[in-house]
Chain A
Amino acid sequence: MKHILEILDERRQAARLGGGQRRIDAQHKRGKLTARERIELLLDHGSFEEFDMFVQHRCVDFGMDQGEKIPGDGVVVGWGTINGRVVYVFAKDFTVLGGSLSETHAQKITKIQDMALRNRAPIIGLFDAGGARIQEGVAALGGYGEVFQRNVLASGVIPQISVIMGPCAGGDVYSPAMTDFIFMVKDTSYMFVTGPDVVKTVTNETVTAEELGGASVHATKSSIADKAYDNDLQALLQMRRLIDFLPASNTDEVPEWPTFDDCDRYDMSLNTIIPDNPNKPYDMKELITKVVDEGDFFEIQEAHAKNIVVGFGRLDGRTVGIVGNQPMVLAGVLDSDASRKAARFVRFCDAFNIPIVTFVDVPGFLPGTAQEYGGLIKHGAKLLFAYAEATVPKVTVITRKAFGGAYDVMASKHLRGDINYAWPTAQIAVMGAKGAVEIIFRQEMGDPEKIAERTKEYEDRFLSPFVAAERGYIDEVIQPFGTRKRVARALAMLRHKKLENPWKKHDNIPL
């Protein structure tokens, strides 16, 4: 018996070494960690339970039956806890056949995916791999398909998070693409469908892997990545922080912890955040961090479409999703990128019962051929659609401009906004005074004095929250300094909100 126990120990030890010390060192030399090291950092100490440690591939082609077979087959899977809450994990092991995906490798992943979905807990995938195992051919492709299918079924049921910590190309990219969030590590990770060599052959374009699909490209330009981190450790510790914000599934409540921040806290400095000059910007993130608990804000897509800010915070210790127009960038205008970014975030929150707090200062949609040719109508509609279909508590605060169609889009009362507040500085109108007067009083354009008078008239009439408040489009005009208190109270009041959309197979959001 004792001997048998020792054999288990030996086999485990061998399996844990993955591709061996030489490959582990090579991995470290690149500034990367091994799959097991990553899992160790991601999960609570000692909480990881590994499954399928001894799985081996079954391929016999192209010499794959020759030589030593390494247990684990390029992926480490299992479950553990993050601050006591269950999560499922798979981590590609670059030291074993470059982490390439075989039939058995895929089976390990799908096993964990099935468990996560069945048991309603988040799943986190750590990617660092060379794509499909070419020697296996279609068996590997089939494996991918199995993984994809499960990603889709789990979507909107449990949070799915992908962290790209090395190469991720070809078939490997589509599983992360279907998860809720993708995070990357700067300099050591890249993601693309076809690599630089193929690009060169097909389009004659010379490009490096970093330029084609590096972390900074995806976090800023393509919006594929929700954030890029400096290194593996930082990324993994931030994943722990993110999980603290997320419910385990779509039937679970948002996590809650004791807050040190008084919900009745006033912040007098908010009374001066709106500049006197309506053309001067201010930082919406200052408002956000002064409203949420302890200023703790987990921003999503910080570097992309900066004209809108989205992310997670807490009020009274419970998670909220925050969306805010950012006057510092493009005056906070809605363009295609901003609309898509916010729409996806709103839908995530709605899927997972996370209340949405919206701070509005939007001058409208961005005009121009670039936007119109780029499909602004349909992209803008995504955000409109997302807000309109959302049934979670929606609290909106209009701080300054809420002009035109963008007013409707930004969680207005008309899209079932539960509580819509406006600051006294709010201006709810079809457009700014200048533009409006130029249209209404076109025949008086030659007379600057009259136009100035008309402009003043328009400003007095519409550039305030009161016309909207008179109609009930604003529930209450509030003092800026009390914003935290009012929003927190509104959310507490909406805690047991029950609202259902008509039954449908699924909606048809303008993709």
Chain B
Amino acid sequence: MRPKLGKALDARARFSYNPPIQIPLVRTGAQMFKKILIANRGEIACRVIKTARKMGIKTVAVYSDADKDALHVDMADEAVHIGAPPAAESYLIIDKIIDACKKTGAEAVHPGYGFLSERAAFAEALKANGITFIGPNVGAIEAMGDKIESKKFANAAKVSTVPGFLGVIETPEEAVKIADGIGYPVILKASAGGGGKGMRIAHSREEVAEGFARAKSEAKSSFGDDRVFVEKFIVNPRHIEIQVLGDKHGNVIYLGERECSIQRRNQKVIEEAPSPLLDEATRKKMGEQAVALAKAVNYDSAGTVEFVAGQDKSFYFLEMNTRLQVEHPVTELITGIDLVEQMIRVAAGEPLAIKQEDVKLNGWAIESRIYAEDPTRNFLPSTGRLVKYRPPAEGRWDSITVRNDTGVFEGGEISIYYDPMIAKLVTHAGDRLVAIDAQARALDAFVIDGIRHNIPFLSSLMQHPRWRSGNLSTGFIAEEYPNGFAPLVAQGAVALRMAAVAAYVDNVYNQRKRRISNQMKQQKPVKFHDERTVALGRVQYQIELDESEGALLVRFVEGGQTHRLETDWIPGQPVWNGLIDGEGHSVQIRDIPNGFLISHAGVTVEARTFTRREAEIYNLMPEKKPADTSKSLLCPMPGLVKAIYVELGQELKAGDPLAMVEAMKMENVLRAERDVTVRTIKCKEGDSLAVDAVIMEFV
């Protein structure tokens, strides 16, 4: 016995990613590969397999012990085990990849990003074994691999570079002199650096002199290379990069730009294409310079030329990444070009079939990186089983495209060994705000249970007026979320929608209760009130319900407004997808005792639905305070205790470091939240702790 479902509001046709423009097939003498190996894991391995399959190429996956049930292994035609979970014992071992190729007869290797993708030695080793590297030639990798070398090439190719001195600087005096010439502020950088290490900003001569020595010693300790250079520091910079594509026949084109200014500690969070900053002329200028640089190193694959841009549209070359970028989907969606396919074709020797004039930028694409990290706990990584993993439906409706590049599945495991990225959610639409709204809705419909994730943070970003206005800089997150991310509170239209959906869900449950068996006969069917009170936390809304033509009308007594809700949602579904006043919305519902946990637009709140009388009583109930946990330090994530910085009886100020816990190769320093005195220490260095295990207790 099953109730009739309402009419389906959105067709859930499965969607395979098809580029909107057709690229003419060029018949050449080049022989396409029959089998390729993907020397990577996670979403990018899956991404490459999809295109290879579309092209009729067989695929070989490689996997470590931790990945034996991973999605990429499942998707590939063959899979080869290559070692223990740590990447250094599996994905980073060149010989194992080459052995896997030989064993399976793979003719070429796609390296994805990260791991071996930018190691010249890897490309070289493949070549020596007669295996094609699906990426640029060794010379290009080497030329672009070193910051100073790449800048020299850039200068030679007349690419705009940040004013600075590329030579090796020996003394602080020399550094000051050079800085005087460039103009302040300047930045001191390690030549071999990356990830912010060995970097120093100096606003004056004194700061240069002082910073130079420190940058040098940091560079030495971090990279074993103490070369430091000086360049102009761009205030309020934006990160804009140009996608280039070259072949082995000397052709190079550019496929527009991506802006990746929304970063958290140098880690990109949201990317988009095109950039809201650029105009056609600047785009052309940047694109042509990127092409010039690529040509200078005979670049023959997909690559990315990164620029730092000023708010005045000035731009300066930063570095070139000689691989497929994480954020390549946004370019694919606005150009209709499958970058992986192009990489495979040019690697096989085909000339580019696309001319620069064929490249048209169409609409706007936004990508959010969904990470297994807890935004409310300072973005600490979270690991464990994906008890639920239901991404939004992919496909194209009404000129909106939703694409989700992922490497995980429901029932899979987020392990501690690799990058905590779960998925890249990409939306595309005719213009930026529509794409942002589509992204917001897709995030609302993205269900992940079992681990913590950053979707609430991404949702909050999608509503941020400054983000929506396109007024970006790489300091955006630090400026707009100076105290970290605090969960949003339900208010305004969002709160009304959540209350309305709670009333809807409650109504469905009540309808069913009316149909329970063995009800007493001598009475009318149980009357459930059409007057309901919805409590979101302690805020209450008086609501009246009415049904009309398959829709539920929810009237808010106070404001007097009526909302029309239409959906095919049924109990048990984690997402309420439907129309509210004709507009599509997704709201997540999880049952809790006497209510629902409702998530929407970055807000999660406990909703309770009552009759008026129950609500009256509810207000008499004392509020239960959550247990006081400030008396102890709990392990915020599963990990290994690397250090305990305090002793018994020690008095500490708020902010003092207490302990360091390593998880996912990240060393996380845990600090005192208030002034405390240490009473007991419950663990020692080297202990492996579960989440919420007590590390120490305070007086």
Contacts and interface: CB of A to CB of B under 8 A. Distances in A.
A50 interface: no
A260 interface: yes
B525 interface: yes
B88 interface: no
A237 B523 contact: no
B624 A83 contact: no
B516 interface: yes
Given A253-B517, A257-B517, A259-B2, A234 B593 contact: yes
A259 B572 CA distance: 10
Contact of B2 (A232, A260, A295): A260
A176 interface: no
A82 B440 CA distance: 41
B514 interface: yes
B538 interface: no
B507 to A, nearest CB: 14
A271 interface: yes
Contacts of A31: 620-622
Nearest to A261: B572
A364 B514 CA distance: 44
Name, among B411, B513, B611, the residue most crowded by chain A CB atoms within 10 Å (CB to CB): B411
B410 A84 contact: no
B650 to A, nearest CB: 33
Nearest to A257: B516
A268 B389 CA distance: 11
Contact of A45 (B69, B389, B527, B621): B527
Nearest to A30: B622
A260 B3 contact: yes
B531 to A, nearest CB: 11
A272 B388 CA distance: 12
Contact of B516 (A33, A252, A256, A269): A256
A230 to B, nearest CB: 5
A84 B520 CA distance: 6
Interface in B61-83: 69
B519 A45 contact: no
B513 A257 contact: yes
A175 to B, nearest CB: 26
A244 B520 contact: no
Given A84-B523, A260-B2, A293 B572 contact: yes
B591 interface: yes
Contacts of B591: 295-296
Contacts of A33: 617, 620
Nearest to A27: B620
B621 A272 contact: no
A233 B617 contact: yes
B515 A255 contact: no
A238 interface: yes
Do most interface residues of chain B lie in helix, strand or loop, or is the interface mixed? loop
Nearest to A298: B593
Given A83-B526, A231-B622, A269-B410, A259 B1 contact: yes
A273 interface: yes
Interface string A223-259: 0000001111110011000001000100011011111
Contact of A255 (B410, B514, B518): B518
Interface in B375-434: 385-389, 409-413
A45 B611 contact: yes
B618 A233 contact: yes
Contacts of A286: 385, 387
A365 to B, nearest CB: 26
B127 interface: no
Contacts of B409: 268-269
A286 B512 CA distance: 25
B598 to A, nearest CB: 16
B572 A81 contact: no
A84 B412 contact: no
A186 B516 contact: no
B614 interface: yes
Contacts of B613: 40-41, 45
Contacts of B518: 85, 248, 252-253, 255
B2 A83 contact: no
A348 B529 CA distance: 34
A130 interface: no
Given A244-B513, A258-B512, A86 B520 contact: yes
Name, among A40, A44, A85, A260, the residue most crowded by chain B CB atoms within 10 Å (CB to CB): A260
Interface in B142-180: none
Contacts of A53: none
Interface residues of A, number: 52
Contacts of B69: 272
A294 interface: yes
A253 B513 CA distance: 17
B515 A257 contact: yes
Nearest to B386: A269
A261 B5 CA distance: 11
Contacts of A444: none
A18 interface: no
B156 to A, nearest CB: 54
Contacts of B570: 260
Given A40-B613, A44-B526, A83 B571 contact: no
A233 B513 CA distance: 19
Nearest to A294: B572
Nearest to A286: B387
B411 A268 contact: yes
A392 to B, nearest CB: 18
A28 interface: yes
B520 to A, nearest CB: 5
A83 B594 contact: no
A314 to B, nearest CB: 11
A317 interface: yes
A248 B519 CA distance: 10
Contact of B411 (A256, A272, A283, A294): A272
Interface in A18-54: 28, 31, 33, 37, 40-41, 44-47
Interface in B565-608: 570-572, 591, 593-594
Contacts of A316: 1
A295 B572 contact: yes
A255 B515 CA distance: 10
Given A268-B411, A273-B411, A231 B516 contact: no
A371 B517 CA distance: 44
A268 B572 CA distance: 16
B627 to A, nearest CB: 11
A397 B592 CA distance: 27
Contacts of B413: 272
Contacts of A139: none
Contacts of B611: 45
A37 B617 contact: yes
Interface string A162-173: 000000000000
A372 to B, nearest CB: 30
A233 B621 contact: yes
Interface in B100-141: none
A44 to B, nearest CB: 5
A270 interface: yes
Interface of A: 28, 31, 33, 37, 40-41, 44-47, 81, 83-86, 186-187, 229-234, 237-238, 244, 248, 252-253, 255-262, 268-273, 282-283, 286, 293-296, 316-317
26 contacts: A44-B526, A45-B529, A83-B519, A84-B519, A84-B520, A84-B523, A84-B526, A85-B518, A233-B594, A233-B621, A237-B614, A244-B516, A253-B518, A255-B516, A256-B516, A257-B512, A257-B513, A257-B516, A257-B517, A258-B3, A260-B3, A260-B572, A269-B386, A269-B411, A272-B413, A282-B385
What are the 10 tightest A-B residue pairs by CB atom distance, in nearest-first order?
A: A269-B411, A84-B519, A294-B572, A272-B411, A260-B570, A31-B622, A231-B621, A269-B410, A256-B517, A83-B513
Given A81-B523, A282-B385, 11 more contacts: A45-B527, A45-B529, A47-B526, A84-B519, A244-B516, A255-B517, A256-B517, A260-B2, A272-B385, A295-B591, A317-B1
